[in-house]
A and B are shown apart, each in its own frame.
Chain A
Amino acid sequence: MSAPPFGPHGAEHVTAPTAPSIDPRGGRFEPRIETRRRKGRVFQALCLGAVIFGIASLVVLLVDVAADGLDVLSIDFLTRYASRIPSRAGIRAPILGSLWVMALVAAVSFPLGVGAALYLEEYAPKSWFTRMLQTNIANLAGVPSIVYGILGLAVFVRFFALGRSVLAGALTLALLILPVIIISAQEAIRAVPNSLREASYGLGATRWQTIRHQVLPVAMPGILTGTILALSRAIGETAPLIMIGALTFIAFDPATPLDSFTVLPIQIYNWVTLPQEEFRHLAAGGIVVLLTALLLMNASAIVLRNRYRKKL
Chain B
Amino acid sequence: MSTEIEEAGAVRTRVALKTRSLSVHYGDSPAVRDITLEVPTNRIVAFIGPSGCGKSTLLRCFNRMNDLIPAARVDGEVLFHGRDLYAPDVDPVEVRRKVGMVFQKPNPFPKSIFENVAFGLRINGFKDDIGERVEQSLRAAALWEEVKNRLDAGALSLSGGQQQRLCIARALAVEPEILLMDEPASALDPTATSRIEDLIRDLKRDYTIVIVTHNMQQAARVSDETAFLYLGELIEFNETERLFTNPDNERTEAYITGRFG
Interface residues of A (CB under 8 A from B): 125-126, 193, 195-206, 209, 213-214, 217-218, 312
CB distance from B112 to the nearest CB of A (A): 10
Give, as a whole number of angstroms, the nearest-CB distance from A62 to chain B. Answer: 39
Determine which of B96, B103, B107, B108 lies in contact with A204 in the assembled complex, contact meaning CB atoms within 8 Å: B96
Q: Mark B109-123, 1 if CB is under 8 A from A, else 0.
A: 111000000011001
| CB nearest to A204 among chain B residues | B97
Are B119 and A203 in contact, CB atoms less than 8 angstroms apart? yes
Is there an interface contact between A312 and B119, defined as CB atoms closer than 8 Å? Answer: no
Cα-based distance from A195 to B103 in the complex (angstroms): 8
Q: Give min CB distance, A190 to chain B, whole Å.
A: 15
Q: Can you list 18 pairs linking A and B with CB atoms under 8 Å apart?
A: A126-B70, A193-B107, A196-B109, A198-B65, A199-B107, A199-B109, A200-B119, A201-B68, A201-B96, A202-B103, A203-B170, A204-B94, A204-B120, A204-B124, A205-B93, A205-B120, A206-B123, A214-B109
Known: A198-B68, A201-B65. A206 touches B93 (CB 8 A): yes
Contact code string B51-68 (vs A, CB < 8 Å = 1, else 0): 000000000000101001
- The chain B residue sitting closest to A212, CB to CB, is B123
CA distance A125 to B97 in the complex (A): 25
Instruction: Say how far B162's CB is from chain A's closest CB, in angstroms.
Output: 16
Q: How far is the CA of A196 from the CA of B123 in the complex (A)?
A: 15
* Interface membership of B39, Cβ < 8 A: no
Which residues from chain A contact B154 at a C-beta distance below 8 Å? 312
Give chain B residues whose Cβ lies under 8 Å from the Cβ of A203: 96-97, 100, 119-120, 123-124, 170-171, 174
Q: How many residues on B have C-beta within 8 angstroms of the other chain's C-beta atoms?
A: 27
Contacts of B174 in A (CB 8 A): 203-204
The winner among A199, A204, A214 for most chain B CB atoms within 10 A is: A204
Complex alpha-carbon distance, A214 and B120, angstroms: 12
Residue on B nearest A127 in the bound complex, by CB: B70
Q: Which residues of B contact A193 (CB under 8 A)?
A: 107
Q: Is the CB of A213 within 8 A of B68?
A: no
The digit string for B201-222, where 1 denotes a CB below 8 A from any CB of A, is: 0000000000000000000000
- Interface status of B16 (Cβ within 8 A of chain A): no
Judged by a CB distance under 8 angstroms, whether B234 is at the interface is no
Please give, as numbers and ranges, the residues of chain A lying within 8 Å of B103 by CB-CB distance. Answer: 195, 198-199, 202
Q: Are A209 and B107 in contact (CB under 8 A)?
A: no
- Which residues from B are CB-within-8-Å of A204? 93-94, 96-97, 120, 123-124, 174
**B101 at the binding interface (Cβ < 8 Å):** yes
CA distance A125 to B69 in the complex (A): 11
Chain B positions 140 through 160: 1 when the CB is less than 8 Å from some CB of chain A, otherwise 0: 000000000000001000000
Q: A209–B120 Cα gap in the complex (Å)?
A: 10
Q: How far is the CA of A197 from the CA of B68 in the complex (A)?
A: 10
Task: Find chain B residues with CB under 8 A from A217 CB.
Answer: 110
Asked if B105 is an interface residue, CB under 8 A from chain A, the answer is yes
CA distance A312 to B97 in the complex (A): 25
> Which residues of A have CB within 8 Å of B65?
198, 201-202
